[in-house]
Amino acid sequence: MTTLTPDMLVSGIRQSQRDEPDSGILSAVNHGFGRKGLIPLWTGEGPLQTPEFICQAASKAMFDGETFYTWQRGLPQLRAALAAYHEKFWPGPFSAERFFVTGGGMQAIQVALQLLADKGEEIVIPSPAWPNFPGPMRMMGVKPAFVPMLYNDRKWSLDLDRMRDSIGPKTRAICLISPSNPIGWVASREDLIAIRDMAREAGVWILADEVYSRFYYGPDTAGVARSPSFMDVCDPDERVIYINTFSKNWAMTGWRIGWLQAPEALGPAIERIIQYNTSGTAAFMQKGALAALENGEDFVEMQIEMARACRAKVAGALGQLNNVSFENAQGAFYSFFRIDGLIDSLGATLRIIDEANVGLAPGGTFGPGGEGFLRMCYLRDPDSLDEALVRLTAWLRQA
Amino acid sequence: MTTLTPDMLVSGIRQSQRDEPDSGILSAVNHGFGRKGLIPLWTGEGPLQTPEFICQAASKAMFDGETFYTWQRGLPQLRAALAAYHEKFWPGPFSAERFFVTGGGMQAIQVALQLLADKGEEIVIPSPAWPNFPGPMRMMGVKPAFVPMLYNDRKWSLDLDRMRDSIGPKTRAICLISPSNPIGWVASREDLIAIRDMAREAGVWILADEVYSRFYYGPDTAGVARSPSFMDVCDPDERVIYINTFSKNWAMTGWRIGWLQAPEALGPAIERIIQYNTSGTAAFMQKGALAALENGEDFVEMQIEMARACRAKVAGALGQLNNVSFENAQGAFYSFFRIDGLIDSLGATLRIIDEANVGLAPGGTFGPGGEGFLRMCYLRDPDSLDEALVRLTAWLRQA
């Protein structure tokens, strides 16, 4: 017998894996998952299961035998449908060759990081930021160079000078999540042009997470109800990689299917990375995703309306509290609110699970500038959101 | 406009990604995929679509709304079923906590590599080897330290002394695929003990790919029809990580669902890596996998019998050729055969696609010792295998 202690086993893994903290979102979920009556507002998903027509398309393909290995870049049909979808909302034209199907938006991020950045290099990213960007960076030894967002007078803004100053010789990319998870902030066209220009000047990539582009409550962009995009201001063949997913728009969070948009020239490298990470995405799932693109617009619009109504509810309820501060932000479907005097957001999150039976995410897990805040995903059916807000405001009043 | 040329774009990606060659398997597939009448024996998959009872379980779960985020380590039910499955074939007991569901065996490899090895380190691996081990290693800057297998008198063997000599200060793990893809070689119990002991002595990990353990044509191991396993000779809490998949046994190649077995102490780190790679595997797919484990034994045994019959056919057909040499190996479902005088296996593979309409994989892509060989996946329905062998032997006779 050479049985090793847990500590000895863990000491034998990669340093960066030992050092990586747990995601605070996951810590909250693991604390409260399955608890009776709990209203889960901790992760970025709505209340609706995947629409039946999407399940039908996937199920049919599965029974029809689309259960073999398939194109590593994704089904040509789906890639063409992605191009057509983009032409409806963003300035094109878009070639199907620019699109790569991935095992979720998370896998798209992994592919992009593996493509662009190596150990010892850096990626600039405004903070607070979804931990699923800096987490995988740290795991591969890439340093997230955080640019703290400014929160003044209940309004978030990005300090472009500070972002420019954070670009150095080791910088490989600027990562921007807009609309932002967790803060809901939306980059203006002017912000995007400024970031584009600093990326061009430094010769670095832009990693653009535009997952929440349709969940946008501001004025139309170029006549379309969506947030401003790097696609509005960048050329097709410059150093920009877009991350996206079927998860949010079409209530497919659990499917793990997303996509990446990149210059065609990167196709062979991206295909290799996909091959050596997941070896592609199930063809039958892709048929579900194809149905989503072809027949899912009504569903997306219904979800956006639901989000808009929920957003108003949350602003109304939290706005009555003297010890809570937040921006009623223009994008995504999160409320990121600060509680006066809060210094341990994970502790508060666990207490709110225990004492109010509401699941939130701790602000501290979103990096510099996030501690003291909590994140609530408000995309929820109205009744359970009402109930969650009753419980939460009661808890916050005595906090 | 700042449009960049393709070369300029590619020059901006990670060095290891620029240097990585295409998988020769993928090159063959991309050359021949969709060609009329082509008999595809290039990838490791059989002819049968996923059994209906598995599709039914997955489909039901999908329509029942199991379409939300789920446990990052996998459904507790499925992890318990994996433990029970292992207790039927390998010496246990097995705790469900040792099992982690992944997006295919490939993703299990990625998780293991990200867990164990860092840029500049090395992993020892006998060669020829499935390129999907060394490929992702190189991508993350980990050097595959190849131990060339010996091929003498139509028989493969592993030089244990040479393996021991290839372990150095940078070595993090020994990777063993047994039964081997591509050569079908099966490590004996004595080989496994020797490798275990050298790993113990050096304090390095064992990365055990036992995907093909059930496709085994040798004498029973410990009274069970399966290949010898590190589970026979290692303790549960030593540095061994097992890679496995639902792909082969249950005809689920296209699903992308597999599992990893590891000491429980690694659970939190593995969960983080899964979170930041794929954020878990679709719950409805896991329900399909659960059905496979619970009701799929007849199907597995039927496939093994089919493989055994195909193996005999291939040995019979290729055995008649004077310019072809191979071992009728004891495991997996590949024939890895050498053609006298062949020096460009990828070129031959492409010609065989064009001229014989049979899809094979080039031996050169499997690393040192593989050039001059071709790999054929012989798990095929008897009629199309017969036809493929007619075409192939005709081509080989004039080669």
Provide the CATH number for the domain around residue B39: 3.90.1150.10
Please report, for residues A71, A325, A351, B123, the alpha-carbon distance to residue A152 in angstroms, rounded to integers and kept in the order given: 49, 10, 28, 51
Task: Return the pLDDT at B1.
Answer: 61
Give me the mean pLDDT over the B337-347 stretch. Answer: 96
Q: How far separated are the first and last CA of chain B, in Å rounded?
A: 53
Q: How high does pLDDT run on average in chain B?
A: 96
Q: Which of B295, B327, B360 is the last residue of a domain?
A: B295
Q: How far apart are CA B281 and CA B68, in angstroms?
A: 10
pTM of the model: 0.96
Q: How far apart are CA A265 and CA A275, in angstroms?
A: 17
- Each residue's pLDDT tens digit, A201-234: 999 999 999 999 999 999 999 999 999 999 999 9
Give me the mean pLDDT over the A3-14 stretch. Answer: 90
Query: Is A157 buried (19+), middle (13-18) or exposed (0-12) by CB count in 10 A?
Result: middle
Q: How far apart are CA B332 and CA A147, in angstroms?
A: 52
Residue B298, amino acid: D
Range from A175-179, A203-207, B21-25 carrying the lowest mean pLDDT = B21-25
Same domain for B371 and B323? yes
Which residue from A minimizes the CA distance to B18?
A: A269
The domain total for chain A is 2
3-state DSSP assignment of residue B200: helix
Q: How far apart are CA B14 and CA B88, in angstroms?
A: 45
Q: Is A97 on the interface with B (CB under 8 A)?
A: no
Task: Return the pLDDT at A208.
Answer: 98
Distance of alpha carbon B143 from the chain centroid: 19
Give me the mean pLDDT over the B373-378 stretch. Answer: 98
pLDDT band of B399, cuts 50, 70, 90: confident
Q: Do the chains contact at A52 and B63, CB–CB below 8 Å?
A: yes
Which residue from A minimizes the CA distance to B67?
A: A254
Question: Which of B60, B67, B106 to mutate to probe the A interface, most A CBs <10 Å?
Answer: B67
- Sort out which chain A residues have CB atoms less than 8 A from B33's CB and list them: 71
Q: What percent of chain B has pLDDT over 90?
A: 96
Question: Which of B33, B38, B45, B68 to mutate to probe the A interface, most A CBs <10 Å?
Answer: B68
Domain-embedded: residue A1: no
Same domain for A252 and A141? yes
Q: How far is B245 from chain A (nearest CA, A)?
A: 12
Q: How far apart are CA B329 and CA B315, in angstroms?
A: 10
According to DSSP, the β-strands at B143-148 and B122-127 are parallel
* A182: preceding bond cis by omega (within 30 degrees): yes
Which residue from A minimizes the CA distance to B13?
A: A116
Domain-embedded: residue A326: yes
Q: Which of B295, B313, B331 is the last residue of a domain?
A: B295
- Sort out which chain B residues have CB atoms less than 8 A from A103's CB and list them: 103, 107, 256, 278
Task: Return the pLDDT at A315.
Answer: 97
Q: Where residue B251 sits, what CATH number does that domain have?
A: 3.40.640.10
CB count in 10 Å sphere of residue B1:
5
Q: Is the pLDDT of residue B164 over 90?
A: yes
Q: Which of A20, A33, A256 is the closest to B278 by Cβ? A: A256
Same domain for A81 and A27? no
Q: Do the chains contact at B278 and A279, CB–CB below 8 Å?
A: no
Give me the mean pLDDT over the B45-68 stretch. Answer: 97
Domain-embedded: residue A16: no
B 156-195 residues with CB < 8 A to A = none
Q: Is B255 on the interface with A (CB under 8 A)?
A: yes
B 126-145 residues with CB < 8 A to A = 132, 135-136, 139-141
Task: Return the pLDDT at B2.
Answer: 67
Question: Which of B22, B62, B132, B271 to mutate to probe the A interface, most A CBs <10 Å?
Answer: B62
Give me the mean pLDDT over the A172-188 stretch. Answer: 98
- Each residue's pLDDT tens digit, A108-157: 999 999 999 999 999 999 999 999 999 999 999 999 999 999 999 999 99
Q: Is the pLDDT of residue B239 over 70?
A: yes
Residue A260 neighbours by CB under 8 Å, 6+ apart = A99, A100, A102, A108, A111, A112, A241, A242, A243, A244, A270
Q: Do the chains contact at B136 and A276, CB–CB below 8 Å?
A: yes
Q: Is A22 on the interface with B (CB under 8 A)?
A: yes
User: Does ipTM top 0.90?
Assistant: yes
Q: How far apart are CA B371 and CA B96, in angstroms?
A: 42
Q: How far is A160 from chain B (nearest CA, A)?
A: 21
Which residue from A minimizes the CA distance to B250?
A: A67
Whether residue B61 contacts residue A254, with contact meaning beta carbons closer than 8 Å, is answered with: no
Q: Which of B262, B295, B328 is the last residue of a domain?
A: B295
Q: Do the chains contact at A276 and B110, CB–CB below 8 Å?
A: yes
Same domain for A305 and A270? no
Q: How far is A69 from chain B (nearest CA, A)?
A: 4
Same domain for A103 and A238? yes
Q: Is A256 on the interface with B (CB under 8 A)?
A: yes
Domain-embedded: residue A7: no
Residues in chain A: 399
Which residue from A minimizes the CA distance to B49?
A: A65
Give me the mean pLDDT over the B246-264 stretch. Answer: 98
Q: Is the pLDDT of residue A1 over 80?
A: no
Domain-embedded: residue A241: yes
Same domain for B126 and B263? yes
- Sort out which chain A residues have CB atoms less than 8 A from B268's CB and list them: 22
Task: Return the pLDDT at A2.
Answer: 67
Domain-embedded: residue B20: yes
Q: Is the pLDDT of residue A347 over 70?
A: yes
Domain-embedded: residue A4: no
3-state DSSP assignment of residue B206: strand
Same domain for B304 and B265? no
Give me the mean pLDDT over the B368-397 stretch. Answer: 97
Q: Is the pLDDT of residue B104 over 90?
A: yes
Q: Which domain holds residue A191?
A: 52-295
- Each residue's pLDDT tens digit, A12-45: 899 999 999 888 998 999 899 889 999 999 999 9
Same domain for B205 and B118? yes
Same domain for A326 and A268? no
Q: Do the chains contact at B139 and A114, CB–CB below 8 Å?
A: yes
Same domain for A212 and A316? no
Which residue from A minimizes the CA distance to B33?
A: A71
Same domain for A187 and A41? no
pLDDT band of B33, cuts 50, 70, 90: confident
Same domain for B276 and B333? no
Q: Is the pLDDT of residue B28 over 80?
A: yes
Domain-embedded: residue A132: yes
Task: Return the pLDDT at A26.
Answer: 86
